[in-house]
């Protein structure tokens, strides 16, 4: 059984298993927008099989698991894209499941029993498991077992049509490395976190001063942070840039990937240092430096494993897309 299955089945249980003080702070500033609830309403019909908003919400929680930690709320700016992605995945998985049934694929009782045990073992107590069973499956062990069986059939067919066909040989990896030398030149880069406060377009002097005043107060807080985690949690709470959902973490980026005003400061900082306020384009920015990489040519041995994974993932995506097109060609999919 794959991790996809575990993620899918446990998405609704994250609240019970991850309510720590740290997770309560995580994404706090972002998740104040759109709460999504399920009523059992039909959302799509695939070759006559109806899938409901409960299935949709379960897939949305897989895509954005933070929502279950924060009362089922999704960021308003992302909710539509998350919903669209979840609906696409539902349709694809239902088509794959129906194809597995058509091919008479089976899950042995022993495999299914083991999979059920894996699901139960994710919970710290029987009461926690029964709470999950009640909230997600109406208390029905039979319904959960059928859901697990369905997921395993989906995985089995994807193994046959995608995973096994996506293998990339050593010679193919070496050939890609040889033919793409520029790809493996690593420019000088720094790993940074940011906190940004946006200055409104056409801001008045008063508005600019108000943003600056807030930025100065946040800078005092940022200067007191002692590590990556503390700065990151502050970023999630107060930052107004898109990186706030990642604890402000941009990972390693080059000079060309950041505003010149930020690059000028960041590339002259020491590890662990927090900058002063930086006026960058339409915002006030605070930077924390977490690491530095010098420019150099990357050796094949350094990228061999990751490059193989990358090429295989690309092949997986291509094969999944082709399988989806093939299955959908003669299918009747009605979004309701």
Average pLDDT over residues 257-264: 94
Mean predicted lDDT score pLDDT of the chain: 88
What confidence tens digit (pLDDT) does each residue in 275-301 have? Answer: 999 998 899 999 999 999 999 999 999
Nearest-5° Cα angle at 235, 188 to 3: 80
Given a contact cutoff of 8 angstroms between Cβ atoms, the answer to whether 193 and 290 are in contact is: yes
Selected residue with higher pLDDT from 306 and 79: 306
**Is the pLDDT reported for residue 3 higher than 90?**
no
Average pLDDT over residues 316-321: 96
Q: How far apart are CA 73 and CA 61, in angstroms?
A: 10
- Does the pTM exceed 0.75? no
Question: What's the pLDDT band for 136 if we cut at 50, 70, 90?
Answer: confident
Q: DSSP H helical segments within the chain, as ranges?
A: 3-10, 14-17, 21-25, 53-63, 66-69, 76-102, 109-121, 126-137, 141-158, 170-179, 205-224, 228-238, 260-266, 300-329
What confidence tens digit (pLDDT) does each residue in 54-107 have? Answer: 889 888 888 888 776 767 778 888 888 999 999 999 999 999 999 999 999 999
Q: Which segment of 59-68, 222-231, 255-264, 278-287 scores lowest on mean pLDDT?
A: 59-68
Sorted by where each begins, the domain ranges of the chain are 3-168+312-335, 188-294
CATH topology of domain 188-294: Chitinase A; domain 3 (3.10.50)
**Residues β-bridged to residue 334:** 45
Question: What's the pLDDT band for 33 if we cut at 50, 70, 90?
Answer: low
Selected residue with higher pLDDT from 188 and 8: 188
Residue 37: what are its φ and ψ, rounded to 5°?
-120, 155
Report for 28-32, 74-78, 230-234: range of highest mean pLDDT: 230-234
Nearest-5° Cα angle at 257, 27 to 185: 120
Yes or no: domain 3-168+312-335 corresponds to CATH 3.40.50.2300? no
Q: How far apart are CA 184 and CA 258, in angstroms?
A: 21
Selected residue with higher pLDDT from 39 and 149: 149
Question: What's the pLDDT band for 229 if we cut at 50, 70, 90?
Answer: very high
Given a contact cutoff of 8 angstroms between Cβ atoms, the answer to whether 67 and 11 are in contact is: no
């Amino acid at each position: 059984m794959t991790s996809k299955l575990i993620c899918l089945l446990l998405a609704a249980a994250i609240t019970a298993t991850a309510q720590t003080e740290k997770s309560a702070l995580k994404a706090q500033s972002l998740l104040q927008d759109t709460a999504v609830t399920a009523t059992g309403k039909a959302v799509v019909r695939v070759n006559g099989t109806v899938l409901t908003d409960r299935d949709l919400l379960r897939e949305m929680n897989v895509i954005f698991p933070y929502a279950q930690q924060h009362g089922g709320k999704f960021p308003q700016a992302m909710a539509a894209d998350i919903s669209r992605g979840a609906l696409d995945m539902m349709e694809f998985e239902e088509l794959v499941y129906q194809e597995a049934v058509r091919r008479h694929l089976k899950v042995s009782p022993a495999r299914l029993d083991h999979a059920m045990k894996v699901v139960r073992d994710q919970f710290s107590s029987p009461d926690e498991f029964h709470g999950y069973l009640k909230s997600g499956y109406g208390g029905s062990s039979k319904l959960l077992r059928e859901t697990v069986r369905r997921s395993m059939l989906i995985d089995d067919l994807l193994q046959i049509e995608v995973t096994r066909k996506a293998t990339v040989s050593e010679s193919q990896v070496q050939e890609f490395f040889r033919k793409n030398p520029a790809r493996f030149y690593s420019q000088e880069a720094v790993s940074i976190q940011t906190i940004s406060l946006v200055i409104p377009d056409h801001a008045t002097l008063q508005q600019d001063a108000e943003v600056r005043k807030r930025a100065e107060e946040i800078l005092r807080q940022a200067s007191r942070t002692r590590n990556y985690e503390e700065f990151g949690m502050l970023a999630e709470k107060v930052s107004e840039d898109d990186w706030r959902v990642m604890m402000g973490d941009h990972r390693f980026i080059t000079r060309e990937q950041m505003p010149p005003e930020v690059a000028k400061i960041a590339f002259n900082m020491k590890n662990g240092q927090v900058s002063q306020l930086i006026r960058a384009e339409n915002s006030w920015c605070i930077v924390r430096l977490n690491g530095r990489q010098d420019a150099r040519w990357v050796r094949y041995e350094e990228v061999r494993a990751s490059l193989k994974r990358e090429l295989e993932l690309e092949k997986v995506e291509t094969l999944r897309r082709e399988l989806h097109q093939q299955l959908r060609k003669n299918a009747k999919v009605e979004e309701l």
